[in-house]
């Protein structure tokens, strides 16, 4: 089970071969996106040179993959993680931490090229489909 980060979706939309190959290989396995990823994609589409065409792509992504809403359990995990990381002197962007919390609550592996953003989060399983195997 996979939670696809924003960058992974963007690579897929652009047809990046490594990512599309992994999507094909894992076709029978559940995948989802966070509502935060949906919002980031929507923002990117709105500020693009072709907002209507890109909004159509974003909405299609929302049809292809379940969009996981932020729940109380996700926010409790977020709060615990943020406190723990802060105690250790580590910081993670709040949106990234919500995405990571979503993956943890639902026991999904987070698929991202931004491993650096997530590597300090305990218990989070990471996969990078953009990197050559």
Q: What is the DSSP string of the chain?
A: -EEE-HHHHHHHHTT-HHHHHHHHHTTTS-EEEEHHHHHHHHHHHHTSSSHHHHHHHHHHHHHHS-EEPP-HHHHHHHHHHHHHHHHTT----HHHHHHHHHHHHTTPEEE-S-HHHHTTSTT--EE-SSS--
Locus of tokens 């218990």: 123
Euclidean distance between CA atoms 90 and 16, whole angstroms? 32
* Model pLDDT, residue 131: 85
Locus of tokens 């919002």: 39
* pTM, to two decimals: 0.93
Instruction: Kindly tell me if the per-residue pLDDT of 74 is higher than 60.
Output: yes
* Model pLDDT, residue 133: 47
Mean pLDDT of all residues in 60-78 = 98
Res. 117 pLDDT band, cuts 50 70 90: confident
Mean pLDDT of all residues in 78-89 = 96
Domains defined for the chain, CATH in brackets: 2-127 (3.40.50.1010)
């Amino acid at each position: 089970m996979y939670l696809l980060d924003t960058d992974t979706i963007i690579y897929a939309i652009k047809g990046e071969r490594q990512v599309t190959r992994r999507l094909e290989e894992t076709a029978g396995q559940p995948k989802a996106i966070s509502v935060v990823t949906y919002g980031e994609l929507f923002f990117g589409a709105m500020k693009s040179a072709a907002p209507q065409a890109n909004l159509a792509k974003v909405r299609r992504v929302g049809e292809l993959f379940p969009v996981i809403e932020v729940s109380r359990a996700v926010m409790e995990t977020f709060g615990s993680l943020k406190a723990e990381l802060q105690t250790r002197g580590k910081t993670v962007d709040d949106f990234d931490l919500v995405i990571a919390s979503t993956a943890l609550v639902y026991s999904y592996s987070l698929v991202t090229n931004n491993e650096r953003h997530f590597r300090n989060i305990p218990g989070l399983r990471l996969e990078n489909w953009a990197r050559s195997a």
